[in-house]
Structure 1
């Protein structure tokens, strides 16, 4: 192993490198060789030092820093939710969060919910509790029974990594209905989009929520990122 490098275990790792405390490592972990070097941290011109064992490192040209240390140095609280694999920095969503991947729909049309799990966007960001929309011959939809028990519906839309480097094209539009009323319409998601389209819809009092995807391409490859209800 080269001088100045160290081997880390990559997988589900929440511990000294990112947060401090005990690390939990997934069964399908992978060993990585990373470069360790002294990193100086300045916040509004004031230098601060990381706690022991929470050094940053470099992997494939990208510098990784301890999230908890950086966030708390900026005055933000950090929370790790092991059940959902979520990291919250600063303000956390109020109420219980239920991901649509864990909620059975009342009805579905076509194949919008066909591929679920982890997705990776063309920006190389990965998310669990998500759907890949890869079927675009027909409009697809899913309806959920809310019974007025939720306040917010949130999600993200982005082109999948399969579209990286592909010709710019319109891939599709998403609409959200509450009890038949249109609550939200996304812009047309482009294959070369560089930002996630965030969906944040007030569903207070809604009995039935319907999500519709209208494709503009036969194979949209759109990531429907962590769609969730908050009560």
Structure 2
């Protein structure tokens, strides 16, 4: 989905249908716009022509039309003010916003949502930044017993899927170390990714956690000799 919309500017027009040359913003400020018939092209193919708005040099097209042009569905939830392109994933919680049961290993090497040095530094894998996720620093120089860190969650059978993008943070993209990420449900290995190296593109995971009571996520460095490597679980979600 992200690849489809990359480089395409889409203005979401919601609410009343605009039939004149003047529209009103949410603050009741009067603005002047131009209505134009615009060809909707995708990958060089003419998909549709729709009446659109040009305002301040920006093109705004109906969200539903834009989605259909790209072969995606579109829904809008007025209660939550949420516009959804593509298939819905169902109700979910970001993993970094779920209370964990315990952490094994150096607790001060595990971070939620972003790094703290410097404050607010986003998790980044091959240039892709994440607003949510978990990051772990392993095998720091002059540190010991920091090859493995794990985190447990009590799911109590309340979720169906764990999804995320995993990889090595760009800060350690030149590390000669490599890492592993293991997901276990009630002691059974559900997913494993070994030989994760800096510079690799993020890999999407979709792990079935239906009926799982206790979820364990294990982060491991292959070496334990001071060759730091930072593993990221980006945009991690628990889906009901």
TM-score (norm 1): 0.66
1:56 shift after superposition: 8.7
2:151 pairs, out of 142, 155, 164, with 142
Runs of at least 5 residues in structure 2 that lack an aligned partner in the other structure: 1-8, 16-24, 27-37, 115-121, 140-145
Matches within 5 A, 1:45-64: 45-46=45-46, 48=48, 51-53=52-54
Q: In structure 2, what is the Cα distance between the partners aligned to 1:160 and 1:87?
A: 30
The structure carrying a bigger strand percent of its residues is 2
Does the aligned pair in 1 maintain the 2:180–2:196 contact within 8 Å?
yes
2:49 equivalent to 1:42: no
SS of residue in 2 equivalent to 1:186: strand
Q: In structure 2, what is the Cα distance between the partners aligned to 1:125 and 1:174?
A: 19
2:95 pairs, out of 97, 100, 118, with 100
2:197 equivalent to 1:197: no
Matches within 5 A, 1:81-96: 88-94=84-90, 96=91
- Which residue of 1 is the match for residue 127 of structure 2? 124
1:182 shift after superposition: 0.8
Does the aligned pair in 2 maintain the 1:159–1:222 contact within 8 Å?
yes
Q: In structure 2, what is the Cα distance between the partners aligned to 1:120 and 1:54?
A: 35
Q: Which moved more, 1:68-77 or 1:169-178?
A: 68-77
Which structure would you say has the larger Rg?
Answer: 2
Q: In structure 2, what is the Cα distance between the partners aligned to 1:52 and 1:230?
A: 37
What whole-Å deviation, never above 9, does each CA across 1:7-65 have from its counterpart, x for those lacking one?
xxxxxxxxx855345999xxxxxxxxxxxxxx9752362165572148997xxxxxxx9
C-alpha distance 54-158 of structure 1, shift in aligned 2 (>3 A) = farther
- Which residue of 1 is the match for residue 19 of structure 2? none
- Which residue of 1 is the match for residue 178 of structure 2? 171
1:144 shift after superposition: 0.6
Does the aligned pair in 1 maintain the 2:39–2:46 contact within 8 Å?
no
SS of residue in 2 equivalent to 1:72: helix
Runs of at least 5 residues in structure 1 that lack an aligned partner in the other structure: 1-15, 25-38, 58-64
SS of residue in 2 equivalent to 1:71: helix
Does the aligned pair in 2 maintain the 1:17–1:66 contact within 8 Å?
yes
Q: In structure 2, what is the Cα distance between the partners aligned to 1:175 and 1:144?
A: 14
- Which residue of 1 is the match for residue 232 of structure 2? 223
Q: Aligned-pair RMSD on alpha carbons?
A: 3.8
C-alpha distance 156-121 of structure 1, shift in aligned 2 (>3 A) = same
